[in-house]
């Protein structure tokens, strides 16, 4: 032992002779694997009340962290409190495992551990959170400008089941912004092209391609069993229809839209939080006429803009699934790419909203195509 440290083999020998080995890492770190025979006590808890955890100040105690830095600092702090037989394991758990000493590992495969290692190190995600993502089901409507970046990052993050609904085919004009697709797949249905790209990125994510346009007749079937809905469509009828279905079925809806150099994103969660969180119709009570809402094909769009908004949508979806952070529910985030400026606006739940007011009964899905076209 030198400078209060023991090599991992020496520490293992002392453990075999009766010393107490204590892993002082955080719980999410220990969940990924611990030295066999170690007792887990979070460093902050140990230093706050050492007598509650280690009442015998003469016992031989070995402290272990990830790389040896925290455990050595913990040794010094405990020595100042009267502990007399302490040592830190040099190099920590990393060196212990590299030395081939016995480890207690969670029941996860090597691919899972390596692929999601950066998530697993985040206390806000960890092993429990990553398993939540793997069990999650997400509906992505649209495999175009917004859906392409969102789909890539949802699959990369480890979403277990990604249902993608789109009835279009890949066109050369899509490639300027729809990064899921490739020149060699021009003419292929977008959902099939998306499945090829996403499965190559993460074969653990199940891709369910649905070559259909969202309509009143299939919207509830498309939402069946999903945890979060991400709207990557490019037209108002679909936005209103998805909103109504999400309110009716109690699903959070992650909204995104782009126009020329401007984009916006929000979360509409009125289905689960009636009277507290707004829905899309609290923000835009009536669909606009078709001539007031041109699409990208008519007005153009900066190619990188859907990437920015789509990534914001993917971020919000992952946060909702993990139950972390503060979502955009009740807030509309607007992005001006030319000025490189974000602005945020509060959106309140409308107590008179025809869709999400607490006392409002569901009356079916209006014909939004006809409404947007100016029909009766």
How many Cα atoms are found within 13 Å in the side-chain-facing hemisphere of 134? 17
Q: Residues with Cβ < 8 Å from 69, sequence gap 6 or more?
A: 92
Dist CA 197 CA 180 (whole Å): 6
Annotate 94-160 with three-state secondary structure: HHHHHCCCCEECCCCCHHHHHHCHHHHCCCCCHHHHHHHHHHCEEEEECCCCCHHHHHHHHHHHCCC
Helix (H, G, I), strand (E, B) or coil at 259: strand
Whether the Cβ atoms of residue 312 and residue 262 lie closer than 8 Å to each other: no
Count of CB atoms situated within 10 Å of the CB of 106:
14
CA distances from 162 to 60, 112, 141, 225, 244 (A): 52, 18, 10, 11, 21
Active site residue 296: yes
Helix (H, G, I), strand (E, B) or coil at 207: strand
Whether the Cβ atoms of residue 30 and residue 23 lie closer than 8 Å to each other: yes
Q: Radius of gyration (Cα) for the chain, nearest Å?
A: 27
Dist CA 8 CA 376 (whole Å): 78
Count of CB atoms situated within 10 Å of the CB of 173:
11
> Which residue in the list 296, 353, 356, 372 is annotated as catalytic?
296
Give the pairing of strands 341-346 and 331-336: antiparallel
Helix (H, G, I), strand (E, B) or coil at 252: coil
Whether the Cβ atoms of residue 319 and residue 122 lie closer than 8 Å to each other: no
Whether the Cβ atoms of residue 108 and residue 16 lie closer than 8 Å to each other: no
Enumerate the active-site residues: 296
């Amino acid at each position: 032992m030198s400078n209060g440290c023991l090599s991992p083999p020496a520490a293992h020998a002392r453990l075999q002779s009766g010393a107490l080995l204590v892993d002082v890492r955080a719980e999410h770190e220990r969940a990924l694997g611990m030295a066999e025979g170690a007792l887990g006590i979070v460093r902050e808890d140990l230093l706050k009340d050492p007598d509650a955890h280690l009442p015998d100040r003469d016992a031989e105690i070995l402290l272990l962290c990830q790389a040896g830095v925290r455990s050595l600092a913990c040794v010094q702090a405990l020595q100042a409190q009267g502990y007399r037989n302490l040592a830190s394991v040099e190099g920590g758990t990393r060196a212990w495992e590299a030395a081939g000493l016995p480890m207690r590992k969670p029941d996860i495969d090597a691919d899972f551990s390596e692929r999601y290692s950066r998530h697993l190190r985040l206390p806000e995600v960890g092993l429990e959170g990553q398993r939540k993502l793997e069990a999650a089901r997400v509906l992505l409507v649209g495999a175009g400008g917004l859906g392409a970046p969102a789909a890539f990052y949802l699959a990369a993050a480890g979403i277990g089941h990604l249902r993608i609904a789109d009835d279009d085919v890949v066109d050369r004009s899509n490639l300027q912004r729809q990064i899921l697709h490739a020149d060699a797949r021009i003419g292929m249905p977008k959902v099939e092209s998306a499945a090829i790209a996403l499965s190559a990125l993460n074969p653990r994510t199940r891709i369910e391609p649905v070559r259909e346009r969202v309509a009143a007749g299939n919207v509830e079937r498309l939402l069946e069993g999903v945890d979060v809905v991400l709207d990557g469509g490019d037209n108002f009828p679909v936005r209103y229809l998805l909103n109504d279905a999400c309110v009716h079925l109690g699903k959070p809806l992650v909204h995104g839209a782009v126009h020329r150099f401007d984009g916006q994103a929000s979360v509409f969660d009125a289905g689960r939080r009636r009277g507290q969180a707004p829905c899309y119709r609290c923000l835009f009570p009536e669909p606009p006429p078709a001539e007031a809402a041109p699409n990208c094909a008519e007005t153009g769009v900066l190619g990188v803009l859907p990437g920015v908004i789509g990534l914001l949508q993917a971020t919000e979806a992952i946060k909702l699934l993990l139950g972390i952070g503060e979502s955009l529910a009740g807030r509309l985030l607007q992005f001006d790419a030319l000025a490189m400026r974000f602005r945020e606006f509060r959106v309140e739940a409308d107590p008179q909203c025809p869709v999400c007011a607490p006392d409002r009964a569901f009356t079916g899905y209006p014909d939004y195509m006809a409404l947007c076209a100016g029909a009766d």
